[in-house]
Structure 1
C-alpha cells in the first residue's frame, strides 16, 4: 500500500507561508491560470521585493538544488514524512552553505526571492508548488496540490492510504 498526501479536514504537517513577512491576506490564488505555451500553472506566485528571505515551509530535507531555463534557481525540498515535495523557483540565490541532503526546519531561511529563469524581472516572486508523492520517489515526482488553501488556512493536509 502506498501512502500519499491529500487535502482533508484533519490537521497534519505544520506549514507556513514561505516568504518572510508575507500574510495570508496578501496571497493570490494563481493556481490553474494559463501560461505561455498552453501550460497550466500548478503553483502559486508570491510577489515580494527582490532579496526577501524565502523560508522552508515545513520541516524536511533539501532534495535538489537546480537551475533551469524556466524555473531559474530552484530548490526541491522533501517533507519530513517523505510524502510531499515543495518546489521553490525563480530564486535570486540560495542560503550560504546550502547543500543537497541537508535537513531544514520550518521557518529556516533557504534562499531569497528573485526573478531568475523565465520570470519577468519587473515581477520578482516565489513560484511555490507542492507535489503529493511517496517516500523514496524522485525529487520531481508527484501530483500537484494547490498550496493556496493550505497557506491561507482554508484547508489542511492529511495522510491517507491508497489501496
Structure 2
C-alpha cells in the first residue's frame, strides 16, 4: 500500500492510532504531517465513494477498494484534485487532493488524517471497524 502523502517515507510515519482526543474520543487514524499543498495520493486502486465536508474532518474523501472490503478515509484536505468526483474510479498513486488544515486541524500543523476501516456487509463506512494504518503503511502488515 502506498503512503498517501507524496515525498513521505515509511520511516517518517508516527503511530498516532488510539491517541487520546477531546471529548473522550480516541484517534482511529494516523496523522501524516506535511506542508500545505503537498499532493495526497490514493493508497490503492478503488472508487471515490463520497466527497464530504465535516466540522472535524474538514474536506474529506472516502475511497472504497475494488472488493468493497475496505474504506480509506482522507481528511483535512486543502482542496480536491481537479476533476475528482464521487463514483469515479481512481488508481493507486493518483493525486486525489492536497494536504491542508481544514476542519478541526491546527492551522500551524497541516497534515493528512488517514483511516482504514474494514466494512461490514452493508458497506457503510460509518459502521466499519477501524484498523491501525501505521503497520500497513509501514509495510509490517498486509490487509486481508
Shift of 1:155: 1.1
Instruction: Summarize the Cα distance change of 1:136–1:88 in structure 2 as closer, same or farther, 3 Å threshold.
Output: same
In the alignment, which residue of structure 2 is the partner of 1:18? Answer: 4
Q: Does the aligned pair in 2 maintain the 1:64–1:139 contact within 8 Å? A: no
CA contact (8 A) 1:82 1:134 kept: no
1:153 is aligned to 2:136? no
Give TM-score, length-normalised by structure 1.
0.86
Structure 2 residues without counterparts, runs of 5 or longer: none
Q: When the two structures are superposed, what TM-score results if normalisation uses the length of structure 2?
A: 0.97
Higher RCO (C-alpha 8 Å, min separation 6)? 1
Superposed displacement of residue 139, structure 1: 3.7
**Aligned: 1:112 with 2:98:** yes
- Compare CA radii of gyration and give the structure with the larger one: 1
CA RMSD of aligned residues (A): 1.0
Structure ranking higher in strand proportion: 1
Match among 5, 17, 23 for residue 37 of structure 1: 23
Size of the alignment, in residue pairs?
144
Unaligned residue ranges in structure 1 (runs of 5+): 1-14, 159-163
Contact 1:47/1:124, CA 8 A, preserved across alignment: yes
